[in-house]
Chain A
Amino acid sequence: MAEPARPTRGYSVRTLPGFAIVALFTFVALYAPIAILVVFSFNAGTSLAIWEGFSLRWYVQAAQNEQVLDAGLRSLYLAGFSASIATVAATMAALATTRTRRFPGRTMIYALINQPLMVPEIVTAVALLIVFAAVKVWTGHTSMIYLIAAHTAFCVPFAYLPIRARLETMDNTLEVAARDLYAPPWKVFTRVTLPLMWPGIIAGLMLAFVISMDDVVITEFVKSAGQDTLPTYMLGQLRRVVTPEINAISTVILVVGAILVSLFFALTMRRR
């Protein structure tokens, strides 16, 4: 037999020495606090750190606490709405600002989209408080729309940057080929561009969702009566006493999230 055309390597170019170990260490470090959090949600005592035996009392208490249940649901749907809107807007904006020569206003668009990142949250929060309060007084309307608007705005850059990073070096040979084969623009987009962008979009959506779920300061200043989210509910407890009730709620959200996303992935896998 002839020699193989290429020099044989005892390794794959896809693995870099040490990377897998660092990655696994990172995962362990990420989950260690989460494990503690989940363990203490089953604490019989009132503490987040002193183990007093197994019990479901905090789940029972959380299930009976209308305020915390409300806050948990509100956090989820606020993040769901805001992250989705933000991701759609960010995807469009990323398509607009990449894979082109500089055109008039490009830098400005870029700066504007990233603006929410550049201001400490408390400043946006106070500014929004003043503007939204005026609108609320004027219209007498105090629904969740204000929180959705504020969250969508600060989620856009978090969704935009991963999508942009994806697009920036995605070459357009496939799209050009499709166009040369007289595929209509919409088809080119849905059949070629979108599937190529998909991992960037997923990354952006996940980031935006997480950012919205965690926001405290802006929410605290924009919310109206009866609009506590989980983070603002927590913030209020900080100076008093924090009980494992919040761990129980967090654990439930983790489980719900895991189920939702597994379903989602199962569905998309089947389609493929």
Chain B
Amino acid sequence: MTDAISEAPRALEREAEKNDIRTRWLLATPAIVIIFLFATAPLFVMVVYSFLAPGDYGNVKWEFSLDGWTNVLVQRDIFDDTLMWADAHLSIFWRSLSLSVITTFLTLVFGVPTAWFIATQPPGRREVWLFLITVPFWTNLLVRTIAIQELIRAEGVINNTLLFVGLINAPIQMMFTDFAIAFGMTYVYLPLMVLPVYAAVEKLDFRLVEAAHDLYAGRWVAFRRVILPLIKPGIIAGSILVFIPSLGAYVTPRVLGGGKNLMFGNLIELQFGAGRNWPLGAALSLMLMAAVMVSLIYYVRVTSREQSDG
């Protein structure tokens, strides 16, 4: 086309783009309003509270204080009064972080093949399998956790089966161990991985995979170089849904791990409960939120750059 006739369409195009952006904002409005009103705005209360002094019996006193924030990282020793790093907070955070990483990894290991399996079923059956993944979660979290514990007890189903088959001679101690926590967390967060990955695999164009095979790519090369990039958005969505909430999780680790060690979620809950230090609880959680938010925004920027590049 020549320049002379492309001028007018370009103006039209710009107009269309403006309209497009307006439509997009309108579409996003209900979600934004709901979340802003019922999740984000109330958090401003927490921001305010984090700068106040703890009330005598929970809640806050209306006096300005920075203790909530400084105590996140530094605390006075209760016995010799020296200033020191709040190593308890740091080691608890580290524990939660490693647990989240392990949980995300395990849900990937078990979730991706499961999602793949479901998505490659004949169309009519997929929804049935998908439903089978979510059914166990219609039951109550605590009953489910108690049932998991029953599986792994010294005289539980697993130990008895292994003893019967003759793989072990004495029951393995699984209750109240890290294994129990990892098992339980993977169980609880599995659907959060399977469903997004399923949504991505389900619309995978298998002609591309065929093409890779036709070019004599081995199955694993094809998986790594062709399939994985195509289902990446699903895997990333799943990882976010698993990783972030498991940072704040505490019911499952507490019940299955025997509760000897605090998770970051417990630490915050303790401040709002028996610990009666709401400002510290508010500061701890805002800190966590800020860290997660920054890494998420960084991730969005990087991936959207990739998309517009590619």
Distance to closest chain B CB from A168 (angstroms): 4
Decide: A127 and B27 in contact? CB cutoff 8 A: no
Taking a contact as CB atoms under 8 Å apart, the answer to whether A265 and B191 are in contact is no
- Known contacts A22-B113, A216-B251; decide if A258 and B135 are in contact (CB<8 Å): yes
Shortest A54–chain B CB gap in Å is 18
Complex A-B, nearest 6 residue pairs according to Cβ-Cβ distance, in ascending order: A120-B248, A23-B117, A127-B42, A33-B147, A153-B38, A96-B27
A-B contact pairs, 19 of them (CB 8 A): A13-B222, A20-B113, A23-B113, A27-B114, A33-B150, A34-B136, A34-B144, A48-B150, A49-B153, A95-B24, A96-B26, A102-B308, A124-B42, A152-B38, A156-B34, A206-B191, A213-B137, A242-B143, A250-B143
Report the Cα distance A160→B110, complex, angstroms: 23
Contacts of A175 in B (CB 8 A): none
Q: Which residues between 252 and 310 of chain B lie within 8 Å of chain A, taking CB atoms? A: 264-265, 268-269, 272, 278, 281-282, 285, 288-289, 292-293, 296-297, 300-301, 304, 308
Given A104-B21, A199-B203: A92 and B30 within 8 A (CB)? Answer: yes
Q: Mark B24-39, 1 if CB is under 8 A from A, else 0.
A: 1111101110111111
- The answer to the question of B192 belonging to the interface, with a C-beta cut-off of 8 Å to chain A, is yes
Which chain A positions have C-beta within 8 A of B196? Answer: 161-162, 165, 203
The answer for the CA separation of A78 and B134 in the assembled complex, in Å, is 17
B199 at the binding interface (Cβ < 8 Å)? yes
Hey, which chain A residues are within 8 Å of B297, CB to CB? 107, 111
Which residues from chain A contact B200 at a C-beta distance below 8 Å? Answer: 165-166, 169
Q: How large is the interface on B (under 10, 10 to 19, 20 to 34, 35 or more residues)?
A: 35 or more
A20 lies within 8 A of B117 (CB):
yes
**Would A37 and B147 count as touching, CB distance under 8 A?**
yes
| Cα(A157)–Cα(B214), bound, Å | 40
On chain A, the residues within 8 Å of B268 by CB distance are 120, 122-123
Q: Which of B14-61 contact A (CB under 8 A)?
A: 20-21, 23-28, 30-32, 34-43, 45-46
**CB contact list, B106-137 vs A, under 8 A:** 109-111, 113-114, 116-118, 120, 124, 126-128, 130-137
Q: Taking the complex as formed, is B69 at the interface, i.e. its CB lies under 8 A from any CB of chain A? A: no
Q: Is A194 an interface residue (CB 8 A)?
A: no
Residue of B with least CB distance to A5: B214
Segment at the B interface, from A57-65, A176-184, A230-238 = A230-238
The 8 Å CB contact of B117, one of A6, A13, A19, is A19
CB pair B42 A34 closer than 8 Å: no
Does A140 sit at the interface, judged by CB under 8 A? no
Q: How far is the CA of A200 from the CA of B308 in the complex (A)?
A: 23
Q: Are A265 and B128 in contact (CB under 8 A)?
A: yes
Within 8 A of B (CB), among A89-115: 89-90, 92-93, 95-97, 100-107, 109-115
Cβ–Cβ contact B116 & A166, under 8 A: no
Instruction: Give the contacts of B171-213 with A (CB-CB under 8 A).
Output: 187, 190-192, 195-200, 202-203, 206, 209-210, 213
Decide if the interface of chain A is mainly helix, strand, loop or mixed: helix
Chain A residue numbers with a CB within 8 Å of B131 are 206, 261, 265
Residue of B nearest to A229 (CB): B140
Q: Which of A110, A122, A253, A269 neighbours the largest number of chain B CB atoms within 10 Å of its CB? A: A122
| Smallest CB gap from A85: residue in B | B34
The minimal Cβ–Cβ distance linking A167 to chain B, given in whole angstroms, is 9
Of all chain A residues, the one with the shortest Cβ separation from B41 is A131
CB distance from B242 to the nearest CB of A (A): 10
Our pick among A17, A105, A126 for the contact of B272 (Cβ within 8 Å) is A126
The answer to whether A165 touches B296 (Cβ under 8 A) is: no
Task: List residues 144-171 of chain A with CB under 8 A from any CB of chain B.
Answer: 149-150, 152-154, 156-158, 160-166, 168-170
B-side interface mostly:
helix
Residue B241 at the A interface, CB < 8 A? yes
Distance from A171 Cβ to chain B, minimum over Cβ atoms (Å): 9
CB of B263, distance to nearest CB on chain A (Å): 10
Residues of B contacting A128 in the complex (Cβ-Cβ under 8 angstroms) = 38, 42
* Chain A 193-219 per-residue mask, 1 if CB under 8 angstroms from chain B, else 0: 000100110111011011001101000
> Smallest distance from the beta carbon of B273 to chain A beta carbons, Å?
9
CA distance A49 to B269 in the complex (A): 29
CB of A199 within 8 A of CB of B289, answer no
B139 at the interface (CB under 8 A from A): yes
Interface residues in B219-263 by Cβ distance below 8 A to A read 219, 222-223, 230, 233-234, 236-238, 240-241, 244-245, 247-248, 251
Cβ B24 vs Cβ A96 within 8 A: yes
Contact across chains for A165 and B237 when beta carbons are under 8 A apart: yes
Q: Chain A residues with Cβ under 8 A from B43's Cβ?
A: 119, 123-124, 127
Q: Which chain A residue has the least Cβ–Cβ distance from B269?
A: A122
Q: Does B148 contact A (CB under 8 A)?
A: yes
Tell me, in angstroms, the Cα distance from A95 to B24 when the chains sit together.
Answer: 8
Expressed in whole angstroms, the Cα–Cα distance for A105 and B128 within the complex equals 38
B146 within 8 A of A: yes
Tell me if A56 counts as interface (CB < 8 A to partner B). Answer: no
A73: interface (CB < 8 Å): no
* A34 close to B192 (CB less than 8 A): no
- Known contacts A23-B113, A123-B43, A234-B142; is A88 also within 8 Å of B30 by CB? yes
Task: Provide the residues of chain A in CB contact with B168, threshold 8 Å.
Answer: none
What residues on A are CB-neighbors of B278 within 8 Å?
Answer: 126
